[in-house]
Amino acid sequence: MARAPQRRPRQIRPRSQLLIDVTFRSDTILSQAQSRGRRPILASIDANLYFLDAVASFIGTDEAREKLLAICADHISTIEADIQTERDRIQAVADEAGVDLTAVTVADAVTVQIPITTPLSRRVINIAKATDDLVTQIDALWLLGAIQTGERNAAIDRIRDTVFQLMLYTGNLRTRALEAAKRADKEDQARAVESELGDATDDTSDAVPDDDTEADEVQAAE
């Protein structure tokens, strides 16, 4: 008598391993973007958005994806609001100082004698390479405007504080995404176990036999 084909238990790939893979990939994006001259804060946002998209893509249900996006929505909107606020503040300084932000060049940076002894100032020297980069514009205009108004130190503090706050938001985004995905991982595994148990209860002929059952069947066949 032919034996019924046996079904092997499903091998569930841990989503936590996928998280490790995705985190490594987003960190790689961050380092590559920075090595190509991408501003650190914008490179961080790039990497975190990649991370968020990837996490959402492998969380099993639409409901889980919606929950994850909802968790991050407030932080994303806060980042956008902070950038807009800073942009408005910068535009006001530009108007008062008579600086046209869209026309800022390396020559302007040299004209106002921005020292190139600090990482922040060295980045400002590269203004001409990234005039469409909002955060570069923030750095440049605050330095240029502050030098003209005699408030350079205050401007640098403001830049550092703003960038630090934005980094906190993007870091919080990643942390919450990790937590949400790990919770979803546990829920998925629990549902998979329940599904296996349910299948075994409903259809015992299809279940994987234990060692004793298999030995009995072999002995009976002999």
Number of domains, the chain: 1
Asked if residue 211 belongs to a domain, the reply is no
pTM: 0.26
Determine the distance from the C-alpha atom of residue 172 to the mean position of all C-alpha atoms in its chain, rounded to a whole number: 9
Sorted by sequence, the CB contacts under 8 Å of residue 60 that are 6+ apart come out as 184, 188
pLDDT at residue 200 above 60?
no
Q: Label residues 45-64 b or e (16+ Cβ within 10 Å = b).
A: bbbbbbbbebbbebbeeeeb
pLDDT digits (tens, 9 = 90+) for 14-52: 444 444 444 444 455 445 555 555 444 444 444 445 554
pLDDT digits (tens, 9 = 90+) for 163-173: 444 445 445 55
Asked if residue 35 belongs to a domain, the reply is yes
Asked if residue 204 belongs to a domain, the reply is no
Containing structural domain, residue 126: 15-187
Asked if residue 8 belongs to a domain, the reply is no
Asked if residue 203 belongs to a domain, the reply is no
Asked if residue 67 belongs to a domain, the reply is yes
Which of 9-13, 68-72, 78-82, 152-156 is predicted with the least confidence, judged by mean pLDDT? 9-13
pLDDT of residue 133: 43
State percent of the chain over pLDDT 90: 0
Asked if residue 105 belongs to a domain, the reply is yes
Half-sphere exposure for 162 (CA within 13 Å, toward CB): 24
Asked if residue 60 belongs to a domain, the reply is yes
pLDDT at residue 159 above 50?
no
Which ranges constitute the DSSP H helices of the chain?
15-35, 40-58, 62-97, 106-111, 119-124, 134-149, 152-202, 211-221
